[in-house]
Amino acid sequence: MQPTPYSMDQTQLQTRVNEFVRGVYNWMTIGLVLTGIVAYFVTASDQALRFVYQARWLFFIGELALVFIISARIQKIQASSATIMFVVYSALNGATLSLILAMFTGQTIVSTFFICAASFLALSIFGWTTKKDLTGFGSFMFMGLVGILIASVVNIFIGSYGMQMIISYIGVLVFAGLTAYDTQQIKAMALSQPVGLDASVVRKGSIIGALKLYLDFILMFQYLLVILGGNRR
């Protein structure tokens, strides 16, 4: 029996969604692996760790610049450029993350990573499968993110451990919510792409989706590490 046009459309749709989502999670995984490798080698070297600490503001500024360029100019830059910037960002973030990881034992880091990974997976599944529109929820989480950034800047000058713990608990909740929201948005992006879309456009969509989920994972991991990291070096 010849397939009906409807079944052919459904097959094309599913193929397109699968390819896009696979690209998003593949690039996210590449970013996380690269971050982990760089963080490991920097943490293992006192000289490298000292250099990153001394130049930490340059690293932070570089990371912020790359995130801004990828997010704001993704439609104008080449797919290859977006890919290179994502890879460079992941490496820079690994270097700065080493400053945090150096304060905790390996056991704490590993256990926190698996807790974060399990939570991230559950939240992604929820964001993908839920029928509820999370747009309003995402806007609320973004407001929470702005509040966290302001509180974190203030706490740099105050240096309050209690405030840091409060920020960390709120941060986990905010990025847990953003994980579900961003996953739903990535699903919507996949469904909205027309058949036969240029491969470079698909690649750029995968990169921006991977960047969002990467940030959700890394920041949730950092806040969980502060909360669960009783075993410091």
Any idea what the Cα angle at residue 32 is, between residues 27 and 35, rounded to 5°? 125
Query: What ranges do the domains of the chain cover?
Result: 5-228
pLDDT, tens digit, 9 for 90 and up, residues 57-92? 999 999 999 999 998 888 888 989 999 999 999 999
- For the entire predicted model, the pTM comes to 0.89
For the record, the structure tokens of 62 come out as: 């570089």
Cα 90 to chain centroid distance, Å, stands at: 10
Q: Which residue matches tokens 């570089």? A: 62
pLDDT tens per residue, range 10-38: 666 677 778 888 999 999 999 999 999 99
Closest to 182 (Cα-Cα) out of 24, 34, 31, 19: 24
Specify whether the CB–CB gap between 104 and 230 falls below 8 A: no
